């Protein structure tokens, strides 16, 4: 129904009439009582106050006629009538204070402006009455709104809470995140969680209270909390980099039979993506101990906003996250390309659900199909290409090296050549730390892809900036150890680890993709950039932690079985080639390698040699691959 209809006008008039009745009554009561308090007992407190009855019976009724409308007008100007009546928070109270302060200032100045004072002066309120009225108004107005809010919250949640079994929780971390969580849970008891105590390592907070909830001490013995408060769950509200402490506290809580949950990071809370009450179980990601990378969002948005972006391998774990982060930065068009229509469909549906449906264009295509890829470039004319399409599973590529070379190397060469031909501004190859001194086919094929990209920078007439970005394993990607371990734990074990000393570098998918986009803004053309990966983790330690987080005991409830290194697998991945040097960039977590690439004149010969290897038997193909990548150490049957 249009807002101009009589029904809407009546509704608006009723709303203003309601507010005038409520606030007018409070304002009148405040002023009336102020006169009573000031002149109680009929005693004049100053020589000027000689006619008490004049103030009470002559001036007070006249003052009501203009002071009440004045307050009502100023409260309206400060937005008090635009909000929902039973919602009242700090910013509403501050606006109310400003409105009443201005009203009091007007009341105090009017006698001087009008020149009227005394018991019969309409605008000559005693200053003492104005001050008392200001304090009473604050008390009545704020108190009334807070009472309405409190009463509504109790009435609306009491029935839901009565039907819900309350879990009594201990919040570990008495900082901002813990305080916000407690506030939300106390305000919305329908969550079924009742905070009963805080725990914090900061001794200065011990013995204090937050929202009436005591800070008991440091998190040590959870058994005593179970006995004292009946605690059934522990919620961690700790910084993301407190990995060691999260691990220790989780172990203590699990040993006491308590379920452990975590609060989203302050970065997520500040971004508005989640609420403090969006709790989840502790995950291996929480145990990485890496603080979130700080990105230059201005530079990334300048690179993406309003431009056409092509993402190959858009259906994969990395590709989907790239698409999500690109879509958040308002591209003119996002071309999502993948040869697997099932994965591409899922990625498309996720972005549509997130509100990016108008931006995206899914394309089913194979990056080795020249005619199809040329059609894609000619039709969409991308300004930025993020090339994530690749065969990445080491054990699967080892017995079929020709497929790895065809997709990872020749596919990259084709997409890069088209990017240069169609004057794409930037081309970014998603590479891997397995390309460094490779011991497997997948790594060697990605090393060749890096060489192709570096060589393409020297193509005659090229205007495209080509960059390759290396990073290690990402937690939760398809085929990575975490999903495999979780599936094995769910099946009751055993959890299989290849070697007790095998180590890997890990990053979360969002951090890796964010740094890839940051790298794209810093590449100078022909660069190989590497992301700072932190310290490598022992895979067997990751397995133990995941078993513990699942509520089991390693080697007791769930067996850990050593199965031996797979063909082409290293004990520890490396960060740079032999003889390769690197220098820092503008970002502390991105480094640039200094290495001479293959001249463009030799590129076609390199690609011809690769094509000749495709139909060869795997051992012959690997030996030929070693001639092209001298640092490659092949695994031969």
Residue with tokens 């017995």: 399
157 C-beta neighbours (distance < 10 Å), count: 16
Query: Percent of the chain at pLDDT above 90?
Result: 27
Q: Dihedral of CA 65/71/73/76: which sign?
A: negative
pLDDT band at 113 (very low <50, low <70, confident <90, very high): low
CATH architecture type of domain 165-282: 3-Layer(aba) Sandwich (3.40)
Tell me the three state secondary structure of residue 132.
Answer: helix
Domain ranges of the chain: 13-159, 165-282, 297-478+506-534+574-628
3-class DSSP string for 219-235: CCCHHHHHHHHCCCEEE
* CA 269/CA 339 separation, integer angstroms: 36
**Average of pLDDT values for 45-65?**
64
Q: What tokens does 255 get?
A: 């040993």
Q: What is the pLDDT of residues 125-177, one digit of tens each?
A: 777 888 888 888 888 888 777 777 777 666 655 555 454 557 888 888 888 87
Closest CA to 270 of 197, 177, 208: 177
pLDDT exceeds 80 at position 313: yes
C-alpha distances (whole Å) from 192 to each of 163, 227, 614 are: 9, 20, 61
* CA 284/CA 292 separation, integer angstroms: 15
Residue 503 annotated among the catalytic residues of the structure = no
Contacts of 499 (CB under 8 A, 6+ apart): 539, 562, 564, 565, 571
* Per-chain mean pLDDT for the chain: 80
Options 3.40.50.720, 3.40.50.10320, 3.40.1710.10, 3.20.20.140; CATH for 297-478+506-534+574-628 is 3.40.50.720
pLDDT exceeds 80 at position 178: yes
pLDDT exceeds 50 at position 542: yes
Q: Which of 434, 503, 570, 622 is catalytic?
A: 434
- Per CATH, 165-282 and 297-478+506-534+574-628 having the same topology is answered yes
Q: What tokens does 470 get?
A: 């290396």
Q: What is the pLDDT of residues 196-235, one digit of tens each?
A: 888 888 888 888 888 888 888 888 778 888 888 888 888 8
Higher pLDDT: 435 or 608? It is 608
Identify the burial level of 145 via C-beta atoms within 10 angstroms of its C-beta, where 0-12 means exposed, 13-18 middle and 19 or more buried: buried
Identify the burial level of 5 via C-beta atoms within 10 angstroms of its C-beta, where 0-12 means exposed, 13-18 middle and 19 or more buried: exposed
Closest CA to 534 of 569, 577, 504: 504
Q: What tokens does 377 get?
A: 């470039």
pLDDT band at 262 (very low <50, low <70, confident <90, very high): confident
**Average of pLDDT values for 473-479?**
69
C-alpha distances (whole Å) from 502 to each of 289, 333, 475, 485, 536 are: 20, 42, 16, 15, 10
Q: What tokens does 576 get?
A: 């740079």
Which backbone phi and psi does 311 adopt, to 5 degrees? -115, 115
């Amino acid at each position: 129904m249009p807002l101009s209809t009589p029904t809407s006008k009546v509704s608006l008039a009723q709303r203003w009439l309601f507010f005038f009745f409520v606030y007018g009554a409070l304002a009148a009561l405040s002023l009336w009582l102020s006169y009573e308090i000031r002149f109680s007992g009929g005693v004049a407190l100053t020589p000027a106050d000689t006619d008490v009855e004049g103030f009470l019976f002559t001036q007070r009724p006249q003052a009501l006629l203009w002071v009440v409308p004045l307050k009502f007008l100023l409260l309206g100007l400060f937005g008090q009538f635009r909000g929902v009546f039973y919602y009242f928070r700090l910013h509403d109270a501050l606006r109310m204070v400003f409105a009443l302060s201005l009203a009091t200032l007007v009341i105090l100045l009017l006698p001087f402006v009008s020149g009227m004072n005394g018991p019969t002066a309409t605008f000559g309120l005693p200053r003492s009455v104005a001050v008392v009225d200001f304090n009473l108004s604050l008390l009545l107005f704020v108190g009334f709104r807070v009472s309405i809010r409190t009463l509504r919250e109790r009435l609306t949640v009491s029935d839901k809470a009565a039907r819900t079994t309350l879990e009594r929780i201990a919040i570990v971390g008495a900082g901002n995140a813990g305080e916000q969580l407690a506030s939300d849970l106390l305000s919305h008891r329908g969550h079924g969680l009742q905070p009963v105590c805080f725990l914090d390592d900061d001794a200065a907070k011990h013995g204090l209270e937050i929202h009436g909830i005591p800070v008991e001490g440091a998190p040590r013995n959870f058994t005593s909390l179970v006995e004292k408060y009946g605690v059934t769950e522990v919620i961690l509200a700790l910084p993301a980099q407190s990995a060691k402490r999260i691990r220790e506290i989780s172990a203590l809580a699990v040993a006491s039979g308590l379920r452990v949950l975590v609060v989203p990071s302050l970065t997520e809370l500040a971004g508005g993506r989640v609420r403090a009450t969006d709790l989840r179980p502790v995950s291996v990601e929480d145990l990485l101990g890496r603080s979130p990378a700080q990105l230059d969002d201005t530079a990334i948005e300048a690179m993406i906003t309003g431009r056409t972006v092509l993402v190959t391998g858009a259906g994969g774990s990395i590709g989907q996250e790239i698409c999500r982060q690109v879509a958040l930065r308002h591209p003119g068009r996002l071309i999502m390309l993948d040869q697997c229509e099932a994965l591409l469909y899922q990625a498309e549906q996720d972005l549509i659900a997130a509100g990016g449906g108008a931006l995206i264009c899914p394309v089913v295509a194979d990056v080795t199909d020249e005619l199809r890829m040329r059609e894609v470039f000619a039709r969409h004319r991308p300004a930025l290409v993020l090339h994530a399409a690749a065969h990445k599973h080491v054990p699967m590529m080892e017995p079929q090296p020709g497929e790895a070379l065809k997709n990872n190397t020749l596919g990259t060469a084709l997409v890069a050549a088209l990017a240069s031909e169609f004057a794409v501004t930037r081309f970014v190859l998603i590479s891997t730390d397995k390309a460094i001194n490779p011991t497997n086919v997948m790594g060697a094929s990605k090393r060749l892809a890096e060489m192709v990209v570096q060589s393409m920078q020297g193509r005659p007439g090229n205007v495209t900036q080509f960059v390759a970005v290396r990073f290690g394993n990402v937690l939760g990607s398809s085929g990575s150890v975490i999903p495999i371990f979780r599936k094995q734990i769910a099946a009751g074990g055993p959890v299989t680890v290849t070697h007790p000393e095998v180590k890997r570098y890990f990053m979360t998918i969002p951090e890796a993709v964010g740094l890839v986009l940051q790298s794209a803004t810093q590449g100078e053309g022909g660069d190989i950039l590497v992301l700072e990966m932190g310290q490598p983790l022992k895979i067997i330690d990751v397995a133990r932690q995941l078993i513990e987080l699942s509520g089991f005991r390693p080697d007791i409830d769930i067996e850990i079985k050593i199965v031996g290194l797979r063909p082409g697998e290293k004990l520890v991945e490396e960060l740079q080639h032999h003889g390769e040097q690197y220098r820092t960039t503008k970002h502390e977590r991105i480094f640039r390698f200094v290495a001479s690439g293959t001249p463009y004149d030799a590129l076609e010969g390199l690609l011809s040699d690769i094509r000749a290897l495709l139909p060869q038997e795997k051992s012959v193909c690997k030996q030929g691959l070693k001639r092209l990548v001298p640092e490659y150490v092949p695994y031969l049957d």
